[in-house]
Each structure stands twice: as C-alpha cells, then as structure tokens.
Structure 1
Amino acid sequence: MLPGRPGESARVSDSDKVAAPDGSTYNVIDTTFVQMMIVHHGQAIEMASLAGTRAGDDQLRALAGRIGAAQGPEVAWMRAWLRDRGLPESDPGHDHTGMPGMQSAADLTALAGLSGPAFDRRFATMMTAHHQGAVQMAGDVLGGGSDERLREVAGEMAVEQSSEIRRIQELDLAA
C-alpha cells in the first residue's frame, strides 16, 4: 500500500516495484533481511561484548572487538535503510529465534557465565554458527533481493563473516 500525495488516494503496488526515495527498488526479501539482520547483528554484538572481560585468548578478544566494531555501524545503516523507506524496524510476525545461527537465551546466559579457555571455546562455537547463519541469510538477498546497494552490502557481510569464521577456526583454542 503506497500513500498518495495530499488529497490523493492510496494505491496498491506490487512489492517488487516499490521505489525508495532515491529511486531504487526493493522487495519483501530485502525488507525482511534488513529487519531480521538488525536483530541478528544485535546478538553478535552482545556476544562479542562479553569477550572483553571473559576471553582468555588475546586474539579471540581482539577478533570479538572487531566484530562488535564492524556490526554496530552496519546496524545503523540498516536502520537508516528502513527509515528512508518508511518501514518499521521490526515485524512482529518475524520469529527471531528461528533465524539461522541465532543462539538461545539459555546459550547466551551460559556463555556469560564462562571465562578463560572455556569461554573461548564456547564463544568460538557459538559465533561460528551465528556467522554461518548470517551468511545464509545474505544468500537470500543475493538470490532474490531487488535493492542493488543492499545486495552489495549483503555480499560484503557474507565475505567478512566468512573471513571471521576462518579466523576463529585458525585460533588454537583446544583445551
């Protein structure tokens, strides 16, 4: 539903042909990705913030710091993307717990209760799964999204998060 100008009626449009103020088009795949990725990134930032005081491995702590530093600005960009299109930040119909890679509240609580090598191993496992989920979600936009700039951003996210997975795997976190 697209609102009309003052005095005009609203009209229905195909979601694949909705234009943003900058003239770019977007569809429901784009919108869903952005709304869900804000929540997804929020959880990664939460997990990364725990590493500052709990990680035993300096390289893991540094990597977690980079994860938080990178994803914060991406969340701000995604919020602006939605705001520029007059879209809500979240859709109550989305089941965020079912998103690929999302960790349960119990898993986050357990992670927060760990420190040193035990934290490092659990963080590595959880963040790897979390990033794999984000890469999967980015693939949805790359395969069916309409917004060219958003597809570029999703592609960059997938490359960066795949690289971070490799960095985590290269750390020697065995007991």
Structure 2
Amino acid sequence: MNSTPTLVRRTALAVTAVAAALVLAACGGDGGTSDDASEASASSASAGAHNAQDVTFAQGMIPHHQQALQMAVMAAERASSAQVKDLAEQIRKAQDPEIRTMSGWLRSWGEDVPSAAPGMGHSGHSGGSGTAGMMDANDMDELMKASGRAFDTLFLTLMVEHHEGAVEMARTEKAEGRYGPATELADAVVTAQSAEIEDMNKLLGRTGG
C-alpha cells in the first residue's frame, strides 16, 4: 500500500541530490573555492547590481531625511498639537533607519556618504542634485523661532513640501534605479510619505493652515 509514496519520495530525494551536485560542480568547476564564490557574489552586489541613479538617490535622500529628523526634533520640543508630535515621532522612526540603510549601501559601493550639520539647508549637504523639497537656512531658522500653534502650522506646511520632494526623488529612483533594495525603499517612501502628506493636509485644514 505504501510502496508507491515511498518510491516517489526516494525519486524526489535522488533528483534533489543530483541537482545539488550540479550546483556544487558549477560553483567549483573552474577550481574556485566557496570563498571565491562569496567574493564574486559580494562584488556583484556592491558593483554590478547598482547604477548611477541608485547612488544619486542615496546621496540625495540621506541629507533630505537628516533635515526631516531635525524638523521632527523641533516638533517634539515646540509643537502644541499632540497629533503633530505623533507625526514627528512617526517620521523619526521611519527615516532614521533608512539613513543607516542607505549609508551602508554607499559604503559598500565605495561612494561618499553625505552628511549635514544641524540647521543646514541646501548648502549643508553633499548630496548632489537630490535637494527637492529641502528647506533653506531661512526656513529652518523661522521654524526654530516658532512655537505653539504657529509652529504647528509652519511645521506642517514645510513638511508637506519636504515630503513632496522626497516622493519626487523616490519616483525617479523607481523609474531609473537598478538596485533592487533601493527601488523597494523608494516604493516604500512613495507609499508612506504620500499618506503622511494627506494626513498633514487634513491637520492643516483643522488648524486653518
């Protein structure tokens, strides 16, 4: 009664073993080692799997995110609305890990990781052309001086513009990038920040912005 299933299982195991042997032979057919294969894979991931757009995206989005984090820190201290403070914390939790991720990509590709000094706007980063929606120094100074409801309105107004710039950059990456994790992150940015733009516009409507 059980001979047929047993035969099927044995045949499947044999096919699996043959396939595994072929894979091993392919990896070592030229006398290479597993280390060689690992190095080749790493080389492909770091060099061959990305293009110039991926680099531009990461180098532009890092300082863009850094400025958003600066604005979020201000909101935690100066906003009067609990909803604005919650939004700022949401932005911080999402974008801080993304900065670390993109920085890791750039290091693995042998590219410069941009940095931005606190309070700096367009001139405060080396992210090339990826500055869509970035605040300038005057905007950041005005936000820093505001408080209470006035801060809430200004923060939301500026952050909507900031997010719109990020979405624009992310859509370019989705269309022109090659590195899978980068295009996936870009897709996540479009989805999350488009939703946050909608939420912020609703808050602006309630605060008369």
TM-score interval, smaller chain: 0.7 to 0.9
Aligned partner letter, 2:172: D
Matches of 2:199 and 2:185, distance apart in 1 = 21
Determine which of 84, 88, 97 is the counterpart of 2:112: 88
Q: CA deviation at 1:92?
A: 4.7
Q: Which runs of 5+ in 1 are unaligned?
A: 1-17
**Correspondence for 2:200:** 168
> Structure 1 stretches (4+) deviating beyond 3 angstroms?
90-93
Q: CA deviation at 1:93?
A: 7.7
* Backbone CA RMSD of aligned residues: 1.9
**CA 1:92–1:40 in 2, change beyond 3 Å: closer, same or farther?**
closer
Matches of 1:155 and 1:24, distance apart in 2 = 21
Give the number of the structure with larger relative contact order, counting CA–CA contacts within 8 Å between residues 6 or more apart: 1
**CA 1:174–1:71 in 2, change beyond 3 Å: closer, same or farther?**
same
**TM-score, normalised by the number of residues in structure 2:** 0.70
Matched, 1:141 2:173: yes
Aligned length: 155
For 1:20, what is the secondary structure of its paired residue?
A: helix
Which structure has the larger Rg over C-alpha atoms?
A: 2
**Correspondence for 1:126:** 158
Q: Say whether the 8 Å CA contact 1:24–1:147 is kept in structure 2.
A: no
Aligned partner letter, 2:112: P
**Correspondence for 1:6:** none
Matches of 1:28 and 1:127, distance apart in 2 = 28
Matches of 1:132 and 1:118, distance apart in 2 = 21
Q: Which runs of 5+ in 2 are unaligned?
A: 1-42, 115-124
**TM-score, normalised by the number of residues in structure 1:** 0.83
For 1:26, what is the secondary structure of its paired residue?
A: coil
**Correspondence for 2:72:** 48
Q: Say whether the 8 Å CA contact 1:40–1:134 is kept in structure 2.
A: yes
Determine which of 54, 69, 77 is the counterpart of 2:93: 69
**CA 1:157–1:95 in 2, change beyond 3 Å: closer, same or farther?**
closer
Provide Cα deviations, 1:123-161, integer angstroms capped at 9, x if missing partner: 011000000000000011111111112101100011101
Q: Say whether the 8 Å CA contact 2:134–2:165 is kept in structure 1.
A: yes
**CA 1:86–1:139 in 2, change beyond 3 Å: closer, same or farther?**
same
